[in-house]
Amino acid sequence: METKILTITTGSEATTVDLTAEAASFVAGKGDGLLNIFVPHATAGLAIFETGAGSDEDLVELLGTLFPRDDRWRHVHGSPGHGADHVMPAIIAPSISVPVIDGALQLGTWQSIVLVDPNGDNPRRTVRLSFVSG
């Protein structure tokens, strides 16, 4: 297995970060296999969806609706409503896998690999790319 660690700065607001270019570069020339992407954080996740057509903002807005930043959360440290950040990875998982054929990600036409980070308390994220040759 071959691994690369990315450090991503996400800032102080809920956001998404497109990781597709970094993932494609990592697997380029590696042949066939499987790419696993993993975020070792309790308050971030990964998704595959269309970016750049408003979906990014729609997802951040939806997360705000599903997980309001108020005092309902039992997990109570950090900024107000931070407990919601700890629940979000149950919906948007911390890992995904993508098939690779001839060194190319096998994503659909409009699919992108996206880091989803609702947590403004932690502006730096680690992302692990692991390629398993097939």
pLDDT tens for the chain, 134 residues long, are 999 999 999 999 999 999 999 999 999 999 999 999 999 999 999 999 999 899 999 999 999 999 988 888 888 787 877 888 899 999 999 999 999 999 999 999 999 999 999 988 889 999 999 999 98
Return all residues near 55 (Cβ < 8 A) that are at least 6 apart. Answer: 49
- 63: number of Cβ within 10 Å: 21
pLDDT of res. 96: 98
pLDDT of residue 43: 93
What's the pLDDT at 51? 93
User: Which residue type is seen at 81?
Assistant: G
Q: What is the pLDDT of residue 46?
A: 98
Residue 25: the pLDDT is 98
- HSE-up (13 A, CA, CB side) for residue 7: 3
Domain range 2-133, its CATH number among 2.40.128.110, 3.40.50.360, 1.10.10.10, 2.60.120.460: 2.60.120.460
Return the pLDDT at 130: 98
Going by C-beta distance under 8 Å and a sequence separation of 6 or more, which residues neighbour residue 42? 85, 86, 89
